[in-house]
Structure 1
Amino acid sequence: MLKGINSEDISYEILEREKEKINQEALERFLEEKSEEENKQVSTDGMLFTSKDSTPMERILGKNDLFPISYLQIGLNVSKSICRISIRDSRGVVVGYGTGFLVSPCIILTNNHVINSYQTASNSIAEFNYQDDENFMPCPTYNYRLDPETFFITDENLDFTLVAVKENVTNQKHLKDFGYLKMSQKQGTILPEEYVSIIQHPKGGPKSVTLRENKVSRIKDAFIHYLTDTEPGSSGSPVFNDQWTLVALHHAGVPNPEQKDEWIANEGILIFAIVNYLAKKYSSLKENEQALIKEMVPDIELAENNITSDIENEPLGYNPLFLGKDYEVPLPTLSKEMEKDTAKTEDGNYVLDYMHFSIVMKKSRGLAYFTAVNIDGTDEVKIKRTADKWKFDPRISKDYQYGEEVYTNNELDRGHLVRRTDPNWGKNAMKANEDTFHFTNSTPQHKNLNQKTWVELEDYIFRNAVLNQFKVSVFTGPVFREDDMVYRQKYQIPAEFWKVVVMIKENGKLSATAYLQTQKNMIENLEFAYGEYKTYQVPVRNIEKLTGLDFRNLSKFDPMANIEATGIVITGPENIKF
């Protein structure tokens, strides 16, 4: 079990801590099982089968260990779809190994802690037929690159990753030649007291199998415990029942709490739990991604209470009464001239509403006049960042949105105006997270500003909202100037960005603070960027002068309103005046 990371992040202490964390979580679930009263009868937890279904009982009680010889041949056939995953850094250096297997003609399933990010997937290799023949000689190996651009879904809680694989025209074999294992949404494919087999690449070595002497001790929720021999590198291996049906994804060992370096069981993720996850996520995916899921699980039953039905019950967009009915904070207003330069939808509306935030676009610049987001620190939902899949908002013309062509082959980041994690709260957090990846919410920012100064301020606001369990409304945008640099003969790059943060203080009064950051020195030469950049706390009225926006009466609640200074340099949280 090895965490996939980039070369610049390599730390074996981190790897060991990650493995230990996963194993400790498995141990906690195992000890919970031991603490319950032992039941000598077959468990029916989770409605794995009904009393009218006699087949499972026959499978368990039938102690005959005789199998037809075809059992071995079937196992050999299914083993073709299993590969070793060579985890590599950006330089191509191998940093670890895992196991994976095809679940469609072009999709591999493995663990999140093997392939945990889009970048790790892009660097890593799937190696099929990495095994010895009957003479103990190495067989020909066929290598394929992973293709996260086509398909990439991962989840840390269920510890799985599904990622596409690219064909390799130099290989003598096509991906279809290896077959694939079918995933099922059905429960009851494995039961306590039955036995499982695991085909794996232990310690990154040739393909091996633990054959059937592996008793299932517990099935609860999404997890299964079994007594099976596995080694590091076996993470991501398929777990089979006696019919060679795929029942689980192996992911962790259960350490002996009384004896270091000893193991008392292993743990897998049930396949039906992974398919149920896909069913709930299905409606939020792109059409090509939905088609690939249908190819993996043709009879998938989509969740009725998925994200689409949830969205119907919650209005989109920024809520001006979010802080309370006595603390209305409306969207800033635009002048008549500014309104004429807004990108409008077919119904003539220029406010674009997303889950928990809204955006108004300046069509002549292809960027937002401003964004407005509600942050609920009392209902945070942590969503791990995976592949960045930016998309145009179809409600307005692409001509009014800076797209991918601005950000290629340079040091410009797609800077989130609404920070990705800010709207991720409540039942529709997943939808909110995905909505932040619209080009309407991006702005060209030099990587040093986006990844350092800008993030530090955003982190401070968000962290305090969560730690102190309060709500915040945040407005963000660029400062548009006529002399902004023109890049690639077409795109004007803003040099400054602003924020206005509104919250309720402990004394029950509103606080409205404003901030200005500059990247002017950094973008003057995108090929060789340098120069200092600073963050300032400024009066709200200064932001109004710079942007032309009207924040109504927010200046009344600004601690900088009566200070003559145009701004105070912010070097840390202790400098901020609330």
Structure 2
Amino acid sequence: MLSFASQNSQFIVTQLMTPAAVPARILTPAPMRLLPRLQRMAESGGAISPRDLERILGNQSDLMDLNYLRRGLRAARPVCRIEVRGNALERGGYGSGFLVGPQLLLTNHHVLNSEDTAQRSSADFDFELDLYGMRQTPVRFRFAPEAGFWTDKALDFTLVALSSHSEERKVALESYGFLRLNRKTGKTEVGESVSIIGHPSGEPKQVALRENRVLAIGTEPGHAGDDFLWYETDTLGGNSGSPVFNDQWQVVALHHAGVPATKVEGEQTFYRLKRDDDAGQPRWVLAQDAAEYGEDAFLWLANEGVRVSSIVKALERRNIDAPNATLTAWLEDVSGSKPYPGTRAEDHLVQPIGALEITPSVTLLEPLEKGKAPGISQRSLAYYRDRAGFDAQFLGQNIPLPDLARAVERFGAVATLEDGSSELKYTHFSVVMCAPRRQAFVTAVNIDGAQSRSLPRGRDRWYYDPRLDQSLQIGDELYGFEPDNYFDRGHLVRRQDPVWGDSAALANEDTFHWTNCSPQYWAFNQGSTLWQGLENFILYNTDADNLRASVFTGPVFSDSDELHRGVQIPQRFYKVVAVQDGAGTLSSSAYIVSQERYARNIPFERLPTGPFQDFQVSVRALEDATGLDFGELLRKGDAFTGTQDQALRSLADVQHPRRKR
């Protein structure tokens, strides 16, 4: 969320940026200020080291004790990303926030400015990269403003309640602990380093570690400016609602605004953009137009934070005017007069009783298989050594994988394996992936109705394929965090299709690879008359007559496919079926089923209802839609006789060879 500091703040920072104007206390704090600073350090729970003393005396050493990192990890746990959903009158966006008590979160007023805004927004915890650079699956909590909501526009803060459990009710909010605030002043000094943890521009959790030095703390006691402190900034704006920490990981301020390079001409204020024009001259935009450019566009001079002591005092006044039991309990905890049950008053990094210390796991010392990270399901390369894949001669005639030349030209390159090939071979089926989409161009499976087996599904566990770079596969970074399970892990090769013969169990396992998965709207994937219904119909005919079939399936890519959480969601899927009867006659049929209405303008406030759109089309028309070439044999064997796409009211409308009665 974009926020600019006041012109008064811009003036203060501009003065501080001028070397001649730097106050002497930036270099050495006044002796009378050292005592409260030492008291706050002692209250941090992290002990005081000799280097801590050196730093507050002006010796800016970068050496830190190792527990600084461990305590920093603990301090990061209660920090979350806030997704603000817009409406007809307000734009949506992202901000940051952090837990300051059981079910109480602190952020900016300009992030959550009303109970209504909070009601339609959410908080994402654990949205960060793991030790191996992989995005962790975030855990989403809903706000509960009806249980507590206090906001202050002047100080730009909002204290709001959260639900006790995640949306799926699998994670308790208390497991994240909280950052206990300290209402006293003296938690930092001019010239000291501060760190910021947050989600700039809605990105995974990041930290600006000791790269920001405090420039000024307030102006004059009793003056409005005394509620703020100013600190240096890096090149990235944003982080609205993030906690600002001192070196003891105490929260000293709530980050709320950036101070951009500014000029005033007459009554108009201009902000400077980061990039100059082609002639190397500064570019300036009117302040009222700044929101159209985004945070990263501006040249930032400093950051401004709201002092924690000012926030607590404002809430104390609020509670006197309108007493509230929840707020009273929080203020008693902050003051230390009555800590929350199960917590110690001296801890400002509060974790639930029994929570584990953050220490390196011994499993990290064990040798890891190349390319594999703990917690990621992936088998060894040897596991796939004997896979034969799709058999082009399965029906007694050569029906190979389709030619992809036109599809590659339209949608991007084929994903290649380590050996330079492109066909991922599994038991009775194969997959060829589109690299830019990270989804299959085509899957191809052989079905033998005479040898089909019925195996229980058991518990789903999906695997990455080690033969293909993991970055080219979509895993639980998409499917593992879908509000209301909106998009399913949709099998392309249906689980039952390759499950036949002596290797049925292995085939069943092979279908649970991310390469055989595509995001499908839940009712589309689970419906009995559409996606699954069509496959059941084909398999029933095949099994009943002991026919063999080869089936090609995949998404119908389109340039208009919308981006959702980093993935373009297919609006339609195709299926081409080739069968041969006892007389050796080859027949083919082609289908397109659509989830377009659910893959565009993806909502999460409510789930849509209504019919899907499914059609039988000619093989040639399907080739035009996908860019795939299935060959002359399937075009000649096409059972579809229509000149236009045939809408299917039910499976009875399908033009496909029926079993003889």
Q: TM-score range by the shorter chain?
A: 0.3 to 0.5
Choose 1 or 2 for highest CA Rg. 2
TM-score by length of 1: 0.44
TM-score by length of 2: 0.39
